[in-house]
Amino acid sequence: MSEFPKPKFNIGDNACIIDYESQNNTPIVCTDCNGTGHHKKSSVIICDNCGGIGKLRQYHRQYKTGELLTVGGVFFEEHNHTFQYCLYDVGMRGGYWELIHARYDESRVFSTVEEAQKECDRLNSEKLNY
């Protein structure tokens, strides 16, 4: 029997998460068909890249980090053997711990703001487009 993996964070640990917002999701002209919606070599065949629309939606993710939070729960994903965490705000609001973020992958959770910021900068410099 293989040993059960150990999570990087436990309940009560401080942690910082990386989040993202989608930006610039304005449609761009399809580079495959040049906006015609047809296959380059045939006007009856629909462009596979854009599905005949002639435009593609471009999503750019802007990653950002925030303040230090507190791990409020640890989840285990059976299918890929990774951990996910939900986090609480460090401060109390109205006498309750407030759950502000649900289930972040371990790759998006860091023990310090500095580490999270470093990873944020790396991800942003990759300029991921979808």
Does position 49 interact with Zn ion (CB under 5 A)? The reply is yes
Site size for Zn ion (CB under 5 A): 6
Determine which helix (DSSP H) or strand (DSSP E) holds 125, and give its type and residue range: helix 113-126
Which of 13, 19, 32, 115 touches Zn ion by CB under 5 A?
32
Examine residue 58 and tell whether it contacts Zn ion (CB under 5 A): no
User: Between 33 and 120, whose beta carbon lies closer to Zn ion?
Assistant: 33
CA 20/CA 123 separation, integer angstroms? 10
DSSP string, 3-30: PPPPPS--TT-EEEEEEEEEE---EEE-
Q: How far is the CB of 47 from Zn ion (least distance, A)?
A: 3
Q: Which of 15, 17, 18, 47 binds Zn ion (CB under 5 A)?
A: 47
User: Based on CB atoms, which residue is closest to Zn ion, 22 or 31?
Assistant: 31
DSSP secondary structure string for all residues of 105-116: EGGGEESSHHHH
Separation of alpha carbons 65 and 101, rounded Å? 12
CA dist 9 and 116 (Å) reads: 14
| Closest CB 51 distance from Zn ion, rounded Å | 8
Question: Per CB under 5 A, which of residues 75..94 are in contact with Zn ion?
Answer: none
Min dist CB 50 to Zn ion, Å, is 3
Residues that bind Zn ion (CB under 5 A): 30, 32-33, 47, 49-50
